[in-house]
Amino acid sequence: MASTLSEESRDSLQIVLPGDLLPATESSFNEDSASAPIIKLGPGLQPLQDDTISAVKAGVLKHAEVGNRWWVESNQRRYVAAPGESVIGVVVGKTVEHYKVDIGAAQTALLGVLAFEGASKRNKPNHEIGTLLYCRISLANKDMEAELECMNPTTGKSDGYGDLKGGFVFKTSLGLARRLLDPKTLILRILGQHIPFETAVGMNGKVWINSANAKHTILICNAIKNSEFLSQEECVTMVKGLVDRL
């Protein structure tokens, strides 16, 4: 996402607060509606009655040239499901056709019992209540429960989705989870230099860590939690300090 930032927002971070009118869009929007470019609004932006656009969340205004999309990136803790995003959830219930999965959103999400690689009516995986699953949101509609899948629908392959065995999961802010997914964020790489581990990061702020022993996993979890408001240099010292103490 970071790579698609437009030039103007790369120059300076534009912070918006709820109620702020958007200057950039104002001009382009007030023109004759036929010739005006189509704008797509993402989370945190709302068109008002007089055709102006107002921010409804506090955060950084982001813009992507592709499709002329605008949105506000905020660091909230409650997850709102969006299609295509990878999340980590816990099985909380089972029906004949679906697993009910808690992904930390307003409602539990539905995961079809057949939405797994190689699953058929005869042969489908059985996940007990309490199982941790890494899945993709296939359908998210604000009026309905989100739907999940544990495979790529076009290829039918698992693509790494499925149940997460062992390890430990903890919750972070959504902002940190997004940053962990950004290859430019160093904390995971710094940790990897000291300790080998597996990880899965869900856009819903759940981070799963697995390593050879419990103490390492605990260290990694705490290091990631600590890193949220630290600079890269501080991260390096923090990790070094933790590893030395081990």
Partner 1 sequence: MREAEPSTNEREFVLAALKEGARIDGRKFYDFRTLRLSFGSDYGAVEVQLGNTRVLAKVSCEVIRPFPDKPTEGFLTFNTELSPMASSAFEVGRQTDEEVLVSRLIEKAMRRSRALDTEGLCIVAGEKVWSIRVDIHFLDHDGNLVDAACIAAITALLHFRRPDVTVVGEDVTIHTLEQRNPVPLSIHHIPICISFAFFDNGERVLVDPTYLEEQIKEGDMTLTLNVHKEVCAMSKAGGIPMELDQILQCTKIAVVKVTELTALIQEALEADAKKRQVSRK
Q: Work out whether 87 is an interface residue with partner 1 (CB under 8 A).
A: no
Query: Locate tokens 């506000």: which residue?
Result: 72
222, 232, 237, 240: residue in contact with partner 1 (rule CB under 8 A): 222
Buried b (16+ CB within 10 A) or exposed e, 111-142: bbbebbeebeeeeeeebeeebbbbbbbbebee
Burial of residue 175 (CB within 10 Å: 0-12, 13-18, 19+) is middle
213, 231, 233, 244: residue in contact with partner 1 (rule CB under 8 A): 213
Decide: helix, strand or coil at residue 174.
helix
208, 220, 227, 235: residue in contact with partner 1 (rule CB under 8 A): 208
Q: Work out whether 126 is an interface residue with partner 1 (CB under 8 A).
A: no
Which part of the chain contacts partner 1 (CB under 8 A), choosing from 16-24, 27-35, 62-70, 210-218? Answer: 210-218
Q: Work out whether 217 is an interface residue with partner 1 (CB under 8 A).
A: yes
Which part of the chain contacts partner 1 (CB under 8 A), choosing from 27-35, 49-57, 162-170, 196-204? Answer: 162-170
CB of 244 to partner 1, least distance (A): 14
d(C-alpha 162, C-alpha 43), whole Å: 28
Contact 148, 109 (CB under 8 A): yes
Q: What 8-state DSSP symbol labels residue 164?
A: P
5, 60, 82, 90: residue in contact with partner 1 (rule CB under 8 A): 90
Sign of CA dihedral 180, 1, 155, 150: positive
Q: Work out whether 150 is an interface residue with partner 1 (CB under 8 A).
A: no
Our CB check for partner 1 shows the closer of 61 and 91 to be 91
Our CB check for partner 1 shows the closer of 121 and 165 to be 165
d(C-alpha 175, C-alpha 123), whole Å: 39
**Contact string (CB under 8 A) for partner 1, positions 163-192, x = contact:** -xxxxxx-----------------------
Question: What's the order of all strands across the beta sheet hosting 206-211?
Answer: 168-171, 206-211, 197-201
CB of 215 to partner 1, least distance (A): 5
Which part of the chain contacts partner 1 (CB under 8 A), choosing from 2-10, 11-19, 51-59, 211-219? Answer: 211-219
The residues near 43 (Cβ < 8 Å, ≥ 6 apart) are: 57, 71, 72, 74, 80, 82
List residues binding partner 1 (CB under 8 A).
90, 92, 102, 128, 130-132, 164-169, 208, 213-215, 217-219, 221-222
